[in-house]
Amino acid sequence: MCMWVIDITKHKVNTDIVCYKILNKDLTSYVKKFQYELNKEFTTKLGIPRQEYNSYNTPRLIVDEGFHGCVNYNDANRPYKELKKDNDILLVACIIPKNSEFYFNHFTGFIVSEKIKIEKILK
């Protein structure tokens, strides 16, 4: 999975951030099959934004590496409803812990961070 970013500034979390993810029923990530566990903090390398061009030849910045999520429940729930029709998936609430580094797309509400903790299975 990758995330399109507008702001290329790496931020540091001042307080825990709640976000939402779509996972497979076995708690693996939907795209990369990373294995999560409930209430365990995971750390990974946070990627460096790279430029690519969309089909209209418009440049955008992409972050491939890191833990991806949505900060707004509705932004995560919309694709969950569509994917749920054909897939055995979960919607989970997560915490991006204080002092984690992250990138955030203010337009889409997507966030990618170096740390994450799966807190609760919502559906």
- The CATH number for 114's domain is 3.20.170
Strands, sheet with 59-63, edge to edge from the N-terminal-most edge strand? 3-5, 59-63, 50-53
**Within a 13 Å sphere around the CA of 37, how many CA atoms are in the beta-carbon half?**
5
Q: How many domains does the chain have?
A: 1
pTM over 0.85: no
75: domain range?
Answer: 3-121
Q: What pLDDT, on the 0 to 100 scale, is given for residue 18? A: 96
**Tell me: the pLDDT tens digits for 7-33?**
567 889 899 999 999 999 999 988 888
Give the rounded percent of residues in the chain with a pLDDT score beyond 70: 93
Write the CB contacts of 34 (distance below 8 Å, at least 6 apart in sequence).
28, 42
- Secondary structure, 3-state, the chain: CCEEECCCCCEECCCCEEEEEEEECCCEECCCCCECCECCEEECCCCCCEEEECCCCCEEEEECCCEEEECCHHHHHHHHHHHHCCCCEEEEEEEECCCCEEEECCCCCEEEECEEEEEEECC
Q: What pLDDT, on the 0 to 100 scale, is given for residue 83? A: 75
Interval 92-117 mean pLDDT: 91
**Tell me: the pLDDT tens digits for 45-73?**
998 888 888 788 777 778 889 999 999 88
